[in-house]
Amino acid sequence: MKKIFIAIILSLVLIMVPAISTASPTLASPPSTLPTERYYYYNTTSGSCTEYNVTSADWHTFFSSVIDNHKYVKYDWANVTTQYSIIFDQNYSGLNYYGAEFMSALSSAGSPTVKNMTVAFQSIENKSSLVNHGKYTNIKALNTGAYPGFSFSKPAVKPLVSEYEDFGIIIAIIAGMVVLYFIFNRKK
């Protein structure tokens, strides 16, 4: 019985070590003024190209009207101080992967109005994010509290199935070890 107890403890340690070692870097608080991002819109009817800038005020309007709106995103991003990292990199010096996707979609929509930003947001919501190696779409990542532009980001709200997945694995390992113990230690 002592051997099985030691085997169980060692198995649990081996399972938990990878989970402990994958710590995420902390995100910095946003600056007082968000970076201005430039993009170009090609109007196919007029055949002209127009330059637009998304300013700090435009970003704040986008976040309050779209990201913080539960009609579009279920997670409560309004209470997260680093919510601007959804679009920007860790230092707020440029765009992250999701932000670049968003700007590309916005360049197809037109000027940085709330309507066009909403259209751009919705056009990329079902694309793969970087969360969990692309297993989450952008909207699924946002709905679970993860930053779609960062591969190290983990959902703050896990789906019910994955919440109990680790627990089920541990129970299966322990049950398997108990069964093996009785198979190999029974008297013939």
pLDDT at 174: 87
pLDDT at 14: 60
Residue ranges of the domains in the chain? Answer: 2-23+162-184, 37-153
Whole-angstrom distance, CA of residue 90 vs CA of residue 31: 11
pLDDT at 26: 79
Residue 18 has pLDDT above 60, yes or no: no
Whole-angstrom distance, CA of residue 94 vs CA of residue 92: 6
The residue type found at 104 is S
Residue 39 has pLDDT above 70, yes or no: yes
Whole-angstrom distance, CA of residue 129 vs CA of residue 136: 6
Q: Tell me the average pLDDT of the chain.
A: 85
Query: What are 122-144's pLDDT values in tens digits?
Result: 999 999 999 988 889 999 999 99
Residue 56 has pLDDT above 60, yes or no: yes
Residue 19 has pLDDT above 60, yes or no: no
Query: What are 163-183's pLDDT values in tens digits?
Result: 567 777 888 888 888 888 777
